[in-house]
């Protein structure tokens, strides 16, 4: 486990200078923690993953980040070790380092035109790929898997086991639109409000690129319309028009273009249920139950999909 005594080791591995102090975690997510490292050279974000990290995948996403940042997208710079690698083994865990950026709390009501232009700038830094798109972004969970999972939740007395069945018909109906993309490019794939933040000086910055990989720009645009459009046609149209006007290559023409949104939210709901079942403490169960309720409160139904498509193509 990472702790403040590792400050000197991290600073040495990444060549960040003397007088190192490590504090945190200053932020925690579902996949890891962020610590702040302060040295004579400045402040840095140290990411400590809770799950195994592929060295190869980390190098790939870091190279993609370099390309996008060089294109002018506002984002923290990747800091590499003295050996030129992205990851370092510290205290038995993989850590990686970025320059530090001060950000304000997450806000879905960011000005939609600014979000559209920002997304266009990300997609303009196109990195083609022949690798397949992960099933998380294109595949259904499926009726059989949902029913099997529901049986285990009922047996375990999950607090949301009575509510999930009322949502499943809508979830399964939405899964019927899923369509693999005709062409893939490397995408961020996690542009929710937690990762697109205002800075104290009024700008926007994009965080957490570790999940980037093969995806569909149409699908990522659809996710942004859902997240920042908030179901309001004017906001969605403003975001879309700004994106297209800024040269964004994605387009939404039919339900299939919302595949990434439907698939991703379905798998997020599924993994939240699985993590509740695997929880061993009351705080963990409460945390994962809240995660599940968040998706159940705002499910991506066929009605939601059609509302997005209609707002763009009206």
Q: What is the pLDDT of residue 93?
A: 81
C-alpha 134/C-alpha 162 separation (Å) is 31
Best CATH choice for the domain 112-313 from the list 3.90.1200.10, 3.40.50.300, 2.60.120.470, 3.90.1150.10: 3.90.1200.10
C-alpha 111/C-alpha 22 separation (Å) is 35
> What residue segments make up the domains of the chain, in order of their start?
4-99, 112-313
C-alpha 269/C-alpha 257 separation (Å) is 20
Total-model pTM: 0.94
C-alpha 91/C-alpha 14 separation (Å) is 15
Q: What is the pLDDT of residue 3?
A: 87
Give the relative orientation of helices 282-297 and 164-175 as an angle to the nearest 10 degrees.
Answer: 50
4-99 CATH: 3.30.200.20
Q: What is the pLDDT of residue 28?
A: 83
C-alpha 145/C-alpha 271 separation (Å) is 12
Q: What is the pLDDT of residue 1?
A: 79
51-77 burial, b at 16+ Cβ within 10 Å, e below that, comes to eebeeeebebbbebbeebbeeebebbe
Torsion from C-alpha of 248, 219, 119, 45, nearest 10 degrees: -150
Query: How far lies 131's CA from each of 128, 173, 183, 194, in Å?
Result: 9, 28, 10, 27
DSSP string covering 190-252, please? --SGGGEEE-TTS-EEE---TT-EEE-HHHHHHHHHHHHHTT-HHHHHHHHHHHHHTT-----
Chain centroid offset of residue 172 CA: 23
SS3 per residue for 68-137: HHHCCCCCCCEECCCCCCCCEEECCEEEEEEECCCCCCCCCCCCHHHHHHHHHHHHHCCCECCCCCCHHH
Q: What is the pLDDT of residue 52?
A: 81
pLDDT in tens, the chain (314 residues): 788 999 999 999 999 999 999 999 998 876 789 999 999 999 999 999 888 888 999 999 999 999 999 999 999 999 999 999 999 998 888 899 999 999 999 999 999 999 999 999 999 999 999 999 999 999 999 999 999 999 999 999 999 999 999 999 999 999 999 999 988 999 999 999 999 999 999 999 999 999 999 999 999 999 999 999 999 999 999 999 999 999 999 999 999 999 999 999 999 999 999 999 999 999 999 999 999 999 999 999 999 999 999 999 97
CB atoms within 10 A of CB 271: 16
């Amino acid at each position: 486990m990472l702790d403040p005594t590792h400050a000197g080791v991290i600073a040495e591995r990444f060549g960040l200078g003397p007088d190192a102090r490590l504090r945190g975690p200053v932020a925690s997510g579902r996949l890891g923690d962020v610590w702040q490292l302060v040295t004579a050279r400045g402040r840095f974000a140290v990411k400590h993953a809770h799950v195994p990290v592929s060295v190869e995948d980390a190098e790939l996403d870091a190279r993609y980040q370099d390309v996008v940042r060089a294109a002018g997208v506002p984002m923290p710079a990747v800091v590499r070790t003295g050996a030129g690698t992205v990851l370092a083994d510290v205290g038995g865990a993989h850590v990686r380092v970025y320059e530090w950026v001060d950000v304000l709390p997450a806000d879905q009501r960011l000005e939609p035109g600014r979000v559209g232009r920002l997304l266009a700038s990300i997609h303009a830094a196109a990195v083609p790929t022949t690798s397949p798109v992960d099933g998380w972004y294109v595949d259904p969970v499926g009726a059989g898997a949902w029913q099997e999972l529901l049986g285990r939740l009922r047996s375990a007395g999950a607090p949301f086991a009575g509510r999930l069945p009322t949502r499943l018909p809508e979830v399964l109906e939405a899964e019927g639109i899923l369509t693999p993309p005709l062409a893939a490019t490397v995408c961020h794939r996690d542009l929710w409000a937690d990762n697109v933040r205002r800075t104290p000086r009024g700008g926007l910055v994009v965080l957490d690129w570790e999940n980037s990989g093969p995806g569909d720009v149409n699908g990522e645009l659809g996710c942004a319309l859902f997240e920042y459009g908030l179901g309001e046609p004017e906001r969605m149209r403003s975001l879309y028009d700004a994106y297209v006007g800024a040269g964004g290559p994605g387009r939404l023409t039919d339900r299939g273009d919302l595949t990434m949104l439907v698939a991703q939210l379905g798998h997020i709901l599924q993994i939240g249920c699985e993590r509740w079942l695997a929880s061993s403490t009351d705080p963990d169960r409460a945390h994962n139950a809240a995660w599940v309720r968040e998706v159940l409160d705002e499910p991506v139904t066929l009605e939601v999909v059609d509302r997005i498509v209609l707002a763009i193509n009206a």
